[in-house]
Amino acid sequence: MAALNIGVLALQGAFAAHQEILRDIGCTTRQVREPKDLVGLHALVMPGGESTTMSKLLLTSGLFEPIGQAIDDGMAVFGTCAGMILLASAIEDGRADQCSFGVLGITVQRNAYGRQVDSFETDLDVVGLDEPFHAVFIRAPRVTRFGSVEVLARLDDEPVLVRQGKAWAASFHPELQADDRIHRLFVECVEKE
């Protein structure tokens, strides 16, 4: 199979780190900043950042509706931290003008693991990985309710890595580690489609 072409939403956050990992595992990547950047993508990664700001930028850039349509049409998507919030069906403490794509059957609470100074790292057991994954949590969202999602990793019995169909989301930042295994799991699922 030819290399997958994976877009990385480049409005805010650690998009370059996601691109580096994806390139290292053999994918071609493209920064997504406007609707035309979505053409020809097999998948899209939504990085962390500030979810209300990202929501506004998605609307002002004209990307919100085209991304929503691409996801509805079957494009795979992986959201990390703020990206998880953008993919959630409900945001407990979101602003009235905050938008989300609603593709994952989860409710999230923004910054629930604490402020920037409360950031932490921990090892997680992940379905599909033989060894624990060292995860970085920075102002991370908490999944407070979930329905038909598959839980791939938990922290203190709370879901922190989930998938539902072609949509994946992590509360943590897998792009901030030299470990590419979470990205590989996502890419392998995209390749199977």
Range of the domain at 77: 5-192
Strand, coil or helix: 118: helix
Per annotation, catalytic residue among 18, 42, 173, 183 = 173
Per annotation, catalytic residue among 175, 183, 191, 193 = 175
CA dist 9 and 41 (Å) reads 12
CATH of the domain at 44: 3.40.50.880
Task: Please indicate whether residue 175 is annotated as part of the active site.
Answer: yes
Task: Please indicate whether residue 189 is annotated as part of the active site.
Answer: no
- Stretch among 63-67, 126-130, 147-151, 183-187 having the lowest mean pLDDT: 147-151
Percentage of residues of the chain with pLDDT beyond 70: 94
Residue 39 makes CB contacts below 8 A (sequence gap 6+) with none
Strand pairing report for 142-146 and 104-109: antiparallel
Q: Output the CA torsion 23→122→125→12 (10° steps).
A: -40
Does residue 88 contact residue 57 with C-beta atoms inside 8 Å?
Answer: no
Q: How many domains does the chain have?
A: 1
Q: What is the pLDDT of residue 148?
A: 87
Q: What is the pLDDT of residue 114?
A: 61
Q: pLDDT-derived band of residue 1, with 50, 70 and 90 as boundaries?
A: very low
Structure tokens at 51: 């979810």
pLDDT tens profile 41-81: 999 999 988 888 888 999 999 999 999 999 999 999 999 99
Q: Does an H or E element contain 155, and which?
A: strand 150-155
pLDDT tens profile 154-165: 999 999 999 999
Residue 112 has pLDDT above 80, yes or no: no
Q: pLDDT-derived band of residue 12, with 50, 70 and 90 as boundaries?
A: confident
Per annotation, catalytic residue among 18, 81, 99, 183 = 81
Q: What is the pLDDT of residue 147?
A: 87
> What DSSP assignment string belongs to 111-173?
TTT--GGG-EEEEE-BTT-SS-EEEEESS--EEEEESSPEEEEEETTEEEEEEETTEEEESS-
Does residue 47 contact residue 53 with C-beta atoms inside 8 Å?
Answer: no
Q: What is the pLDDT of residue 118?
A: 63
pLDDT tens profile 15-25: 999 999 999 99
